[in-house]
Chain A
Amino acid sequence: MKSITKAKSRMPARLDLLQSLSGLVLALFMWFHMFFVASILLGADAFDRVAGWMEGSLIFEQTYPVIVSMAAMGVFALFVLHALLALRKFPSSYRQYRTFHDHMKRMGHEDTTLWFVQVFTGFAMFFLGSVHLYIMMTRPDTIGAYGSANRVVSEWMWPLYLLLLLAVELHGSIGLYRLAVKWGFLTGSNPVESRRKLKRAKWGVTVFFLALGLASLAAFIKIGLTQQDHFGQPVLSWASSVPAEHPMLPVPPLGELS
């Protein structure tokens, strides 16, 4: 075999690494993201302050929603890249899908089933995540506490966010766990025992972020419901046309939502 044959393409190695890296960045991003969103639990002011940071308030004297727009674009690009890379691993035909599904059912093996959960949630995020990211890119100015709350309630986005939350938290934590065992990180001298611990940690992380996410969503819904009485109209048209006429709202809603 030695060097007689043409050297094999290095692309599979790069794609494999890139898939893992993009997943890692997205998962870590989602952790930060969730903490920021959860600031709503400390009140709308706290949330808006965090949102302001996102728009550059710490650096500039005023806020620039375009920063959020661009960040969202970056995330979206990474998201698309990750999705494309992950697609390589999806069942590519119904026959493959059936084979895997039957195998999973038959064997009742946790990590195998978790992979299917990842495929399923990943697939769901194509749509759910895209919608959310599109809004973040196009309407960065509507992501303050009250704008977000209105989107959640009045614009009927809460079912989408609920599903997205579930998908993200499952997909992300399973993905991080799999990254660790895939590359042999954090596996120490006793990989079997470490894997057990990682698995436990994985479920802990899932539960923690789901709880945080659900609580935050509830907080938005609560705010959204109170606003519904005041405005009774889609927040987008309100936000774009008449923000100043409503003194109870802070000027441009900032930040972003889960």
Chain B
Amino acid sequence: MSTDSPVDSTSLSTSHSSRVASGRRLTFKILRHNPRDPDSHPHMATFELDETPGMTLFIALNAIRDEYAPSLQFDFVCRAGICGSCGMLIDGRPGLACRTLTQTLGEEITLAPLPAFKLIGDLSVDTGQWMRGMSERLETWVHGQQEIDPDRLEERMEPSLAEEIYELDRCIECGCCVAACGTALMREDFVGAVGLNKIARFRLDPRDDRTDADYYELIGDDDGVFGCMTLLGCQDVCPKDLTLQTQIAFLRRRMIATG
């Protein structure tokens, strides 16, 4: 949840290697709307801030809330690019606000909530409910038959396979891929790259007993892998650089082979 956190912000800045006195005056245009308030209508609110060296959008948004707009809603948790809370449209493109340095943007910065998700208010959207729904629908957990005996040595796994699984496990469910996907925006039942990547992850995992036929039941239609039109917005905005393009292509081939 967004909290008022000026922590770090007063002193926070960038590294020794890129400490440039910027002297820029930044204009933030923020799409504001509180759906709980009958008097609220979506509008762009404008705020101005002096850029400080190494300013991130996390710092800037907190400064705006502290100084000008105490009711401004946005979400941060880890503010380190790890938790995936702060996905938003930054100049029209989905990205993580916490790790976006203002020096990489122009003097006028436009911020808007991620589309495709339910708006909570201003820049805050409900990705959590969406992801839970996806998880329930795709059954994103290991389906093993074997009872685990935690007293015994664990099942062995090839080290390279464990690393491959982790590669796909790195998804932080930030929702950027969904918001960047024209298909997901047009068709709200589409599972999105996040969902397909999950399937690829569990498919790779030998602890999961499900077969391709089982996965076909989950993603073998136009709301699943065949709905993907390969626009590759997902691949291009993923903050974790997941190999979404490759995974979806692979699943498509597997599902065709099954179908």
Contact = CB atoms under 8 A, between A and B. Distances in A.
A16 B222 CA distance: 9
Interface stretch (A31-39, A132-140, A183-191, A208-216): A183-191
B256 A16 contact: yes
B221 A2 contact: no
A115 interface: yes
B259 interface: yes
A45 interface: no
A109 B230 CA distance: 13
Interface residues of A, number: 37
Q: Which of A91, A178, A191 has the most CB of B within 10 A?
A: A191
B186 A91 contact: yes
Interface stretch (A53-61, A66-74, A99-107): A99-107
A184 B253 contact: yes
A239 interface: no
A14 B243 CA distance: 25
A88 interface: yes
A17 B235 CA distance: 22
Interface in B162-192: 180, 182, 185-187
A9 B229 CA distance: 20
A88 B229 CA distance: 11
B214 A2 contact: yes
B55 interface: no
Contacts of B182: 100, 103-104, 112, 115
Interface stretch (B7-15, B69-77, B244-252): B244-252
Contact of A8 (B210, B221, B230): B221
Nearest to A114: B231
User: Taking chain A's interface residues, is the majority helix, strand, or loop, or is none over half, making it mixed?
Assistant: helix
Contacts of A191: 243, 245-246
A241 interface: no
Contacts, number: 101
A230 interface: no
Interface residues of B, number: 39
Given A8-B216, A16-B226, A183-B253, A109 B233 contact: yes
A14 B229 contact: no
A128 B139 CA distance: 47
A16 B245 CA distance: 17
Contact of B233 (A7, A88, A112, A195): A112
B186 A99 contact: yes
B89 interface: yes
A106 B92 contact: yes
A138 B77 CA distance: 68
Interface of B: 89, 92-93, 115, 139, 180, 182, 185-187, 210, 213-214, 216-218, 220-222, 226, 228-233, 235-236, 243, 245-246, 249-250, 252-253, 255-256, 258-259
8 contacts: A1-B214, A10-B259, A13-B258, A109-B93, A109-B236, A181-B249, A182-B228, A182-B249
Interface of A: 1-2, 5, 7-10, 12-17, 88-89, 91, 96, 99-100, 103-104, 106-109, 111-112, 115, 178, 181-184, 187, 191-192, 195
Given A107-B92, A109-B236, A191-B246, 16 more contacts: A1-B214, A10-B259, A13-B258, A15-B226, A16-B226, A88-B222, A103-B182, A106-B92, A107-B180, A108-B92, A108-B93, A181-B230, A181-B249, A183-B253, A187-B246, A192-B235
